[in-house]
């Protein structure tokens, strides 16, 4: 049986490999967000098919990073880091409000 820890460890390994490839190719910004998004999306898809609850947070960040990376590859400049920080803040607030409404 595949555990969440196994999947997370594989994702971290893929992230380190991505960093190595980026440093070798010297194309830091172009593929970083695209790769991070792909890793996070694949992690959550693997969780889903393994019967493990997905992380809404990492899945959403993965989607934003993937779209931002894809836009960067296509030549569009997106303030991705700022966008992700705003989304993290909104996610934190949204989760707190959802917990309060369940009480």
Tell me what pLDDT residue 8 has.
95
Domain of 90 in residue numbering reads as: 4-102
**Under 8 Å CB-to-CB from 27, ≥6 apart: which residues?**
none
DSSP, res 11: H
Tell me what pLDDT residue 28 has.
67
What is the rounded average pLDDT for all residues in the chain? 87
The predicted-structure confidence for 28-61, as pLDDT tens digits, reads as follows: 666 888 899 999 999 999 999 999 999 988 998 8
| Tokens 């695209």 -> residue | 34
**Under 8 Å CB-to-CB from 66, ≥6 apart: which residues?**
33, 34, 37, 38, 40, 41
Burial tier of 43 (Cβ tally within 10 Å: 0-12, 13-18, 19+): buried
Assessment of whether the complete model's pTM goes beyond 0.85: no
- The domain tally of the chain equals 1
| Tokens 């296509």 -> residue | 74
């Amino acid at each position: 049986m595949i555990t969440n820890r196994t999947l997370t460890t594989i994702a971290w390994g893929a992230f380190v490999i991505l960093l190595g490839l980026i440093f070798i190719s010297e194309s830091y910004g172009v593929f970083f967000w695209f790769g991070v998004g792909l890793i996070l999306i694949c992690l959550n898809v693997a969780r889903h098919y393994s019967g493990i609850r997905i992380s809404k947070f990492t899945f959403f960040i993965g989607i934003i990073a993937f779209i931002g990376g894809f836009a960067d590859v296509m030549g569009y400049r997106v303030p991705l880091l700022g966008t992700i920080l705003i989304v993290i803040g909104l996610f934190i607030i949204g989760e707190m409000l959802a917990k309060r409404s369940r009480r």
